[in-house]
Amino acid sequence: MSRSCPALLITAPSSGQGKTTVTSALARLHTRHGRRVRVFKCGPDFLDPYWHQLASGAPVYQLDLWMTGEADCRQRLWHAAQEADLILVEGVMGLFDGDPCAADLAHCFGLPVMAVMDAASMAGTFGALAYGLQTFRPGLRWAGALANRVATPRHAAMLHRSLRSDSPWLGAVMRNAAMTLPERHLGLTVASEVADAQARLDAAADALADTPLGNMRLQDLKHWSVDFQEGAQGDSPRRPGTMPVADLSPAPHALEGKTIAVARDAAFCFIYTANLDCLQALGARLVFFSPLADAALPPCDAVWIPGGYPELHASRLAANTGLRDSVAAHVQAGKPVWAECGGMMVLFDAITTTDGVQHALWGVLPGAVTMHQRLAALGPQQLRLRAGTLRGHTFHYSTSTSPMVPLTRTARPDHDPMPDAGEAVWQRGPVRASYFHAWFPSCPSAVVELFSSSGAFPP
Among 174, 209, 229, residue at a domain's last position: 229
Write out pLDDT tens, residues 25-50: 999 999 999 999 999 999 888 888 98
Contact 440, 375 (CB under 8 A): no
- Domain tally, the chain: 2
341 an active-site residue?
yes
22: CATH: 3.40.50.300
423 in a structural domain: yes
Among residues of the chain, what percentage have pLDDT more than 90? 72
| pLDDT above 50 (res 244) | no
**pLDDT for residue 184:** 45
Q: Note down the domain range covering 320.
A: 259-452
Are 217 and 265 in the same domain?
Answer: no
Residue-level pLDDT at 195:
63
Rg, Å, the chain Cα set? 23
Beta bridge partners of 87: 7, 38
Query: 180-211 pLDDT, tens per residue?
Result: 665 544 455 554 556 678 888 898 899 899 89
* Same-domain status, 26 and 139: yes
Same domain, 353 and 281: yes
- Please list the residues that pair with 190 across neighbouring strands: none
Pair (31, 135) in one structural domain: yes
Residues 157 and 195 in one domain: yes
Task: Tell me, rounded to whole angstroms, the distance of Cα 52 from its chain centroid.
Answer: 11
Last residue of a domain, one of 211, 229, 247: 229
Q: Are residues 394 and 274 in the same domain?
A: yes
Q: Is residue 235 part of a domain?
A: no
More confident residue, 425 or 234: 425
Please report whether residue 254 resides in a domain. Answer: no
Task: Give the other-Cβ count within 10 Å of 153's Cβ.
Answer: 10
Average pLDDT taken over every residue of the chain: 88
pTM of the model: 0.90
Give the number of other CB atoms < 10 A from CB of residue 4.
11
Residues 203 and 267 in one domain: no
Comparing C-alpha atoms, which of 376, 371, 365 is closest to residue 352? 371
Q: What is the mean pLDDT of residues 41-67?
A: 92
How many residues can be counted in the chain?
459
C-alpha pair distances (Å), 444 with each of 77, 255, 275, 283, 449: 20, 10, 10, 11, 9
* pLDDT number for residue 456: 53
pLDDT computed for residue 183 by the predictor: 57
* Closest by CA position to 374, among listed 360, 395, 356: 395
CATH number, domain of 331, equals 3.40.50.880
Residues 350 and 100: their CA atoms lie apart, in Å, by 37
Q: Which of 214, 229, 244 is the last residue of a domain?
A: 229
Same domain, 220 and 263: no
**Dihedrals phi, psi of 167, to nearest 5 degrees:** -115, 100
- Between CA 20 and CA 28, with CA 24 as vertex, the angle to 5 degrees is 170
Whether residue 268 sits in one domain with residue 131: no
Within 197-293, where are the H helices? 197-208, 273-281
* Cα 173 to chain centroid, rounded: 26
Specify if 251 maps to a domain.
Answer: no
Question: How far is 266 from 262, CA to CA, in rounded Å?
Answer: 13
**222 and 338 belong to one structural domain:** no
Q: Which of 108, 269, 341, 443 is catalytic?
A: 341
Concatenating the DSSP letter of every residue in 308-377 gives: S-GGGGHHHHHH-HHHHHHHHHHHHTT--EEEETHHHHHHSSEEE-TTS-EEE---SSS-EEEE-SS--E
Three-state DSSP class for residue 252: coil
Q: What is the mean pLDDT of residues 1-12?
A: 92
Please choose, from the candidates 196, 190, 392, 430, the residue with its C-alpha nearest in 3D space to the C-alpha of residue 308: 190
Q: pLDDT tens digits for 307-328?
A: 999 999 999 999 999 999 999 9
Would the pLDDT of 377 be above 90? no
Q: Are residues 210 and 277 in the same domain?
A: no
Q: Residue 243 domain-assigned?
A: no
Instruction: Determine, yes or no, domain membership for 351.
Output: yes
Dist. CA 176–CA 150, nearest whole Å: 9
Can you give the pLDDT at residue 457? Answer: 55
